[in-house]
Amino acid sequence: MLEIDPYTIVFTIINLLVLYFLMRKFLFGPVNAILNGRAKAIEDSLAQARQEQEEAQRLHNQYQAQLEQSKEEAGQIIAQARAQSSELYQKTLADAQSQARKLLEESQERNRQDRENMLRSVRQEVADLAVAAAEKVATSSNQAIDTFLQEAGDQT
């Protein structure tokens, strides 16, 4: 008859706890650090994009003030300057928004790819550990079955 050995159960539980703490220290910590670093990089990129947009807005406000002063000087110069400043503002704003969108998309894509790679790696390691554990259990089960069959064969 197949018996359950309490020492084997206790040893297996201890092995699983040791494995869990090792994975927590050497796998989960670095993975979280990488994810946090990637999130910080994205936040920094967004902050820089906001800063560039504020600078463009400040420049726009400065150009508007200059246009108001030149309005007194000549109507034609004002029209040209207003058109040029508006065009420059739109271009600068469009460039800043385009760069911000591009940085955000690239950062999100890199973050998604990094996360997928890390998850794939973790899954592979967990699968390898599960296979190794199953092999150990299967080996010990096969030995118990062989012993049982040999004892049963001796009795007949």
At 68-89, the pLDDT tens digits run 766 667 677 767 777 888 899 8
* 144 in any annotated domain: no
Share of the chain above pLDDT 90, in %: 44
**Of 52-66, 79-93, 129-143, minimum mean pLDDT range:** 129-143
pLDDT confidence of residue 137: 80
Domain extent at residue 35? 6-138
Tell me the percentage of the chain whose pLDDT exceeds 70: 90
- Any domain includes 147: no
Indicate whether 155 belongs to any domain.
no
91 is a domain residue: yes
3-state secondary structure 50-94: HHHHHHHHHHHHHHHHHHHHHHHHCHHHHHHHHHHHHHHHHHHHH
Has residue 71 been placed in a domain? yes
- This prediction's pTM: 0.34
**Residue 1 located in a structural domain:** no
- Our count of domains for the chain comes to 1
- Position 10 scores a pLDDT of 94
Would you state the pLDDT for residue 156? 57
DSSP, res 26: I
Q: What is the pLDDT of residue 2?
A: 66
**Residue 44: per-residue pLDDT:** 94
